[in-house]
């Protein structure tokens, strides 16, 4: 094990990814950031939190792009200990208006990316005998969300991926789990039609904690799953959603 653990965070330019990267740096990790958008602001925040940082443009739907990112991570840090597969897209549209090309793009970013990322970083974790893979699901898989059918379907795939792969890697010292948030106010959702549709207020009223979720609401659970304390937890999807899902 290297002196400092390295975390990889995808979709790290803003929103959940930025909050996750900062929390992991605060917990003593160096952090490699991947996004199709510039990661400069997150890089600055990670350094301020005490972590070394690598920021790189990466299309997680492309196996070649992820492989190049993985090579850069290994060259800079020696490997990846914590993989946070956060990048995702969530176009809002009636199902009848969704083209197959749009469907495939959503699946490629939200689900195919798990194949590319895990194929790239899992072998090193197995070799080290320690690793944490944390994926982003959604409580929408349990509640159902109108106008987001492809997105919800992709997140169902994420949950299935986590459950199945956990059984394959459980003896290796590597765990895999998922976090399932509620509708969260981020830079992305603030620029979408969520306010116009009244979704933030509606969803908050369905929760036990009746306020809109923000990315920082998930960072504690993420830090736990990335730690030694979570060594006996794998294959789980944890709803951190203000009590909207009570399973």
Of 151, 161, 199, 200, the active-site residue reads: 151
Residue 88 to residue 106: CA distance in whole angstroms: 8
211-216 own/partner pairs: CB under 8 Å, 24+ apart: 211/242, 212/183, 212/184, 212/185, 213/181, 213/182, 213/183, 213/184, 213/185, 213/241, 213/242, 214/184, 214/185, 214/186, 215/15, 215/16, 215/18, 215/19, 215/20, 215/184, 215/186, 216/19
User: What's the maximum distance between 2 C-alpha atoms anywhere in the chain?
Assistant: 52
By C-alpha distance, which of 155, 31, 159, 163 is closest to 87? 155
Cα 238 to chain centroid distance, Å, stands at 13
**DSSP-based three-state secondary structure for 162:** helix
- Report which of 187, 80, 194, 87 is spatially closest to residue 136, judged by C-alpha positions: 87
Q: Is 90 assigned a catalytic role?
A: no
Residues marked active site are found at: 151
């Amino acid at each position: 094990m290297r002196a400092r653990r390295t975390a990889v965070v995808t979709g790290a330019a803003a929103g959940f990814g930025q909050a996750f990267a900062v929390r992991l740096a605060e917990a003593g990790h160096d952090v490699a950031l991947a996004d199709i958008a510039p990661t400069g602001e997150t890089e600055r925040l990670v350094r301020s939190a005490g972590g070394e940082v690598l920021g790189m443009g990466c299309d997680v739907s492309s196996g070649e792009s992820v492989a190049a990112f993985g090579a850069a991570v290994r060259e800079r840090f020696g490997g990846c200990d914590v993989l946070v597969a956060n990048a995702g897209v969530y176009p809002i549209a009636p199902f009848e208006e969704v083209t197959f090309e749009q469907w495939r793009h959503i699946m490629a970013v939200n689900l195919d990316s798990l194949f590319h990322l895990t194929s790239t970083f899992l072998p090193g974790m197995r070799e080290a005998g320690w690793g944490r893979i944390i994926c982003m699901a959604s409580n929408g898989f349990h509640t159902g969300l109108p106008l987001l059918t492809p997105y919800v379907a992709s997140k169902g795939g994420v949950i299935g991926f986590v459950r199945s792969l956990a059984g394959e890697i459980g003896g290796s010292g590597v765990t895999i789990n998922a976090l399932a948030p509620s509708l969260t106010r981020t830079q992305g959702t603030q620029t979408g039609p969520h306010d116009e549709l009244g979704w933030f207020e509606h969803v908050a009223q369905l929760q036990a904690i009746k306020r809109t979720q923000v990315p920082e609401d998930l960072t504690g659970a993420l830090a736990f799953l990335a730690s030694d304390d979570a060594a006996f937890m794998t294959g789980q999807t944890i709803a951190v959603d203000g009590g909207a899902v009570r399973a």
